[in-house]
Amino acid sequence: MPPTPWGEADTVLARRLRPGPGVPREAVAADQRERLMAAMVVLADERGYQPLRVEDLIALAGVARGAFYEQFRSKDDLLLATVVEIGALGLRDATTAFKRGGSADVRLRAAVEGLIGFAVAQPAAARLWLADAYGAGPAAIDTAERGLAGVRELASDALTELASGGSSATGNAMTLPPEALRALVGAVHRATASRLRRRHEDELPALARPLAGWIAGYRPPPTPLRRPRGHAVPGTDARIAPRDQAERILLGVCDAIYDKGYTATTLADIATRAATSIRTFYAHYESKEEAFVDAVDLAQVQSYAAVLAASRRAPDWPHAVRAGLTALCNYFAAEPPLAEAVIVEVHAAGEQALRRHEESTAAIARLLEPGYELAPDTPAIAAEAIGSAIDTLLYDAIRAGGGPKVRAIAPTATYLALSPFIGANAACEVANDSGQPRRRA
């Protein structure tokens, strides 16, 4: 069995504090609580979270059903409590490392190493916190984000000091926009979660230093990043029209998931939203999972085509990045159900869908490859990290309501993409360039 934050799983689960004379009731309840949380970590690691039942958890923990319901209302309630504990421990390790002192960049690197070190030492618990919780519904996502919010505060402190030339006094020092800071820490989160999901935690120690160095290289934009001017062009936010029955089903999948979430969506829901029959669904797909993977592929192909078409009209590479990222944001702003499904709900859809989603993130990262010719000393991890940061921006904007909020992140995405290659000043100028650059000769 894997280790747990409360001790080796075998030891914790075998420990049964019996009620009786001299044994406080609170101590028995605390013992049962730890065993149930350890059982959650172990079983989610073995089977995934969604298939678990309360019966499975109490059987492994050796806790009576009545004792379970004295502490938790449901399996989901136990998950939230477990993720709170794990996130607090991960943040504790990052904070402890950060407070050991040194220059701002040294402390930032220490915090990232502390977080990743926790994931390496507790891979099953970290998987539950940083990966599985994001497929378990809005409450689980918000709970998982609490620990990462503390890491963002550490990164903000370090970046503010770096921006002020080494002084710890914040004063009127400019800082990165909050959404940019979320995206930078989100890139660390996604790099860690991806490797944990694939059981490649042995790769994580080598990532900590380059990821921290990449974050430390960012400086606040010299002038505020402007939101895109005006409103969407009439018609650009209209529904994407399906071209055949299969695409009608794929959009029906996204509509149904937008209504109910991936886990709760049934084939009947999909047939209703696609205005078709279950029999017709089975003529094209064998399962909801297969159709959803195709929906992810559809979004990947269409969005990347929009990115390429826009970027090829730009006069130079920095403006090509801005045009491509603006087109990406406009694509997902135009189709809120599809965006919700393939950017947010994909985390509940299983490994195959997540792998396809990561391929789409990698495709966007390829837009940045010419930047290495301009700045060959840029860390190799930058393209992957920037792709993950942009994915975080999209994720946050879609969860916040989608549509115009997604369009609004284009300047921030551009700034994050360009700053490591051309510097903060030039990146800010391109990000805020609201005019249409000349077409490439």
pLDDT in the model for residue 146? 93
Give me the amino acid identity at 250. L
Q: Residue 78 falls within a domain, yes or no? A: no
35 backbone φψ class: left, alpha, beta (φ>0; ψ -120 to 50): alpha
Quick one: 192 and 118 in the same domain?
yes
Q: Residue 439 falls within a domain, yes or no? A: no
**Domain span at 10:** 1-72
pLDDT digits (tens, 9 = 90+) for 247-294: 899 999 999 999 999 999 999 999 999 999 999 999 999 999 999 999
pLDDT in the model for residue 238? 47
pLDDT in the model for residue 12? 86
Q: Residue 344 falls within a domain, yes or no? A: yes
Which of 72, 105, 126 is at the close of a domain? 72
The secondary structure of 379-397 as a DSSP string is: -TTHHHHHHHHHHHHHHHH
Quick one: 113 and 188 in the same domain?
yes
pLDDT in the model for residue 20? 63
pLDDT digits (tens, 9 = 90+) for 12-32: 888 876 766 666 888 888 999
Q: Residue 64 falls within a domain, yes or no? A: yes
pLDDT in the model for residue 164? 78
Give the 3-state secondary structure of residue 8.
strand
Q: What separation in angstroms does the CA of 436 have from each of 187, 239, 319, 330, 439?
A: 30, 25, 9, 16, 9
Give me the amino acid identity at 323. A
**CB atoms near residue 313 (< 10 Å):** 17
Quick one: 374 and 317 in the same domain?
yes
The answer to whether the beta carbons of residues 28 and 63 sit under 8 Å apart is: no
pLDDT in the model for residue 257? 96
* % pLDDT > 70, the chain: 91
Quick one: 268 and 405 in the same domain?
yes
Quick one: 304 and 427 in the same domain?
yes
pLDDT in the model for residue 170? 45
Which of 21, 48, 72 is at the close of a domain? 72
Quick one: 249 and 360 in the same domain?
yes
The answer to whether the beta carbons of residues 336 and 402 sit under 8 Å apart is: yes
Q: Residue 231 falls within a domain, yes or no? A: no
Quick one: 306 and 412 in the same domain?
yes
Quick one: 266 and 201 in the same domain?
no
pLDDT in the model for residue 365? 83
Q: Residue 238 falls within a domain, yes or no? A: no
Quick one: 320 and 279 in the same domain?
yes
State how far the Cα of 104 lies from the Cα of 124, in Å rounded to an integer: 31
Number of independent structural domains in the chain: 3
Residues of the chain with pLDDT under 70: 17, 19-23, 166-174, 229-240, 434-441
**CB atoms near residue 64 (< 10 Å):** 11
Quick one: 121 and 44 in the same domain?
no
Q: Which residue has the tokens 């650059």?
A: 437
Q: Residue 124 falls within a domain, yes or no? A: yes
pLDDT in the model for residue 244? 81
